[in-house]
Structure 1
Amino acid sequence: MNNKKRKVADIALKLFIEKGIQQTSIQEIIEKAKISKGTFYNYFSSKSDCIADILEFLRYDASQQRIAVQIGKDTGDRNVFIEQIVIIMRLNQERNLSPLFEAILSSNEADLKKLVMQHRLYEMEWLSNRFIEILGDEVRDHVFDATIIFFGMMHHMLFMMRITNTTYSLEHVVDTLLSYIELIVQKMLLNETVLIPHSAIDLLRTNANKKQVKIDDILSLADQLQQNYLFNEDQQDLFDAILSELKRDRIRKTVLQPLLKPFQKCTAESPISSQAQTFTNLVWYFLRNIH
């Protein structure tokens, strides 16, 4: 890791928090860091790129500390899990990142909002994978719901504790909320309830990572669906109509969009419901980005 680049990123972060992102100029960062303009642009292409690296450094530090805590311990050790969750919370506090996140999310800067979304998605995926290791593979279908509920409880609990000046330890808060999640997950399993399907998370990943969905990707997934599943007559008619539009030289949104929900609905109880929903989500996202 480039320590000089990181030092500049740390200086930029302090300025962003003190003055605001839009109010901080690249020239101010250069002067504060005592570097040349060429050096800054050798490290970062823009302020947004600088913020991307600030978040990347945070994730790197958290991952290194989490690995160090895990070494020689059982992956299912609940106390290790609690300590790992607390690590990034402490790093956020030490670097005073909450005001930066809040400023970005309340701004009109779409690119910066995507950076925060990416950062939170990385953390959600880490937590989801660890939930499976801690609670068992049977929670896999419910793990995103559990992750979102945990983050929501954590965010609002810490907010209320701060504004009421309540004394707390992060370990105790995490331990307590984790015990609630363990009970909630049992209820999810009992009721077979899933609010956020995997296909919705796939769409979130596509949005967060700014991946351009290509028609070839959609057609490739369509081929997989056709090969792995025998559609009934209604499903096949809708599927053929969708493919027919996708293969046109000029795709007609007004024709294609009304076909997506009926196809998703008629495959909802089928063995390929998740794949079919991913397919329709990708088509929807593709249509959003064509003119």
Structure 2
Amino acid sequence: MNKKKKQIIEAAQTLFIKKGFSATPIQDILEEANVSKGTFYNYFSSKTACLMAILLFIKEEVIHDRQQLALGKSPSDKDIFVKQIAARFHIDKKHNLMALFASLASSDKAHQELKEFLNQQYLEEVTWMAARIRDVFGDEKQEYAYDDAVTCFGTIHLTSKILMDLGKTEIPIEETIYFALQQIEKTNTHPPFLKADYFLLYQQEKHAAEKDTKMTLQQTLTDLGSHVEKLKNQRLTYYHQYLLEQLQSNTPNLFLMESVVDSYQNALQHTNLEDKGKYIKMLFTQLTAEEQEDS
């Protein structure tokens, strides 16, 4: 990440935590980062885009740390799994993410793009947890992996809050994670509640950071071609073809694509492809963030 962009992200993160997201005007970020308005918009199309870049940066740090922990270790090593879960909490604490999310609670929560971005990150984390549960506990957990992932996350978060309320902040998060895993080690006797198919949109074959986002977006649109044609929506077909043409270019116009992606997603609402529209929007947001990172 170049120096100017890093200055903006660090300044914005500090102000969002201190003043709240909605209460922080872009002008305050400019003054805190000591950059011009033109410099800000060279990297971010809006304040929301700046916040999403902060969250994406933190997500990539989590992915990197988890990969480093797994190097040379067995996928079934429970101690490594515990450290990987804990990495999320340690990094969130380092970046004061709880305070940042608290600033959103009374702010622009209704902003659809930001809401979908946060939902996407959360569901990807659940999907990662389910995959790792299968690694650690074996095939017997195959059907129950998502039930167990939600149970594990819920136990960790609620237990952590209770310990904090009781003033037991000296207890390491790793102990809470071991406790949560004990709750899911028992044999499941009920039919699975959460099906793997529910999470198909969030299963990113390893991690998004290990893939070419542009190619993934292009392949997703290509695979959708025949389904879009069946909807017999001339505007939707135009949007679809335009996006594919841009992605096939070496220098796609992301500025123009942004409005087309929004129109494409809106056209898919209330159809059987609505979830695909959300996924395409998420991929485009990630592509934009990666292009800004490289600039």
Deviations 1:213-257 (A, max 9, x none): 99x839659xxxxxxxxxxxxxxxxxxxxxxxx66779xxxxxxx
Are the aligned partners of 2:5 and 2:43 in contact in 1 as well (CA < 8 Å)?
Answer: yes
- 1:86/1:285 CA distance change after superposition, 3 Å: same
Are the aligned partners of 2:19 and 2:103 in contact in 1 as well (CA < 8 Å)?
Answer: no
The CA RMSD over aligned residues, in Å, is 3.3
**Does residue 114 in structure 1 map to residue 116 in structure 2?**
yes
Deviations 1:245-283 (A, max 9, x none): x66779xxxxxxxxxxxxxxxxxxxxxxxxxxxxxx962
Instruction: In structure 1, give the amino acid aligned to 2:196.
Output: H
Kindly report which structure 2 residues correspond to 1:1-291, keeping only aligned pairs within 5 A, or say none: 1-105=1-105, 107-167=109-169, 168-183=171-186, 186-187=187-188, 190-191=189-190, 193-202=191-200, 217=224, 220=227, 283=272, 285=274
* Structure ranking higher on relative contact order (CA contacts 8 Å, 6+ apart): 2
Question: How far does residue 151 in structure 1 lie from its aligned partner after superposition?
Answer: 1.1
Are the aligned partners of 1:203 and 1:282 in contact in 2 as well (CA < 8 Å)?
Answer: no
Q: 1 CA distance for matches of 2:54 and 2:120?
A: 13
Q: How many matched pairs? A: 227
- 1:177/1:60 CA distance change after superposition, 3 Å: same
Are the aligned partners of 2:120 and 2:202 in contact in 1 as well (CA < 8 Å)?
Answer: no
Q: 1 CA distance for matches of 2:143 and 2:4?
A: 43
Which residue number in structure 2 is paired with residue 231 of structure 1? none
Are the aligned partners of 1:11 and 1:29 in contact in 2 as well (CA < 8 Å)?
Answer: yes
Q: Which moved more, 1:195-204 or 1:161-170?
A: 195-204
Instruction: In structure 2, give the amino acid aligned to 1:283.
Output: N
Q: 1 CA distance for matches of 2:232 and 2:172?
A: 60
Q: Which of structures 1 and 2 has the bigger CA Rg?
A: 1
Deviations 1:140-191 (A, max 9, x none): 22211111111111111111111221241111111111111212xx21xx43
- 1:128/1:27 CA distance change after superposition, 3 Å: same
Q: 1 CA distance for matches of 2:21 and 2:272?
A: 35
Question: How far does residue 133 in structure 1 lie from its aligned partner after superposition?
Answer: 0.9
Are the aligned partners of 1:77 and 1:134 in contact in 2 as well (CA < 8 Å)?
Answer: yes
Q: 3-state DSSP class of the match of 2:168?
A: coil
Question: How far does residue 40 in structure 1 lie from its aligned partner after superposition?
Answer: 1.0
Normalising by structure 1, report the TM-score: 0.68
Q: 2 CA distance for matches of 1:105 and 1:204?
A: 24
Instruction: In structure 1, give the amino acid aligned to 2:135.
Output: E
Q: Structure 1 vs Structure 2: percent identity of aligned residues? A: 29
Normalising by structure 2, report the TM-score: 0.67
Instruction: In structure 1, give the amino acid aligned to 2:92.
Output: N
Question: How far does residue 198 in structure 1 lie from its aligned partner after superposition?
Answer: 2.4
Unpaired segments ≥5 residues, structure 1: 206-210, 222-245, 251-280
Which residue number in structure 1 is paired with residue 265 of structure 2? none
- 1:31/1:140 CA distance change after superposition, 3 Å: same
Which residue number in structure 2 is paired with residue 271 of structure 1? none
Q: 2 CA distance for matches of 1:97 and 1:200?
A: 28
Q: 3-state DSSP class of the match of 2:8?
A: helix
Q: 1 CA distance for matches of 2:104 and 2:181?
A: 29
Q: 2 CA distance for matches of 1:177 and 1:117?
A: 23
Question: How far does residue 5 in structure 1 lie from its aligned partner after superposition?
Answer: 1.7
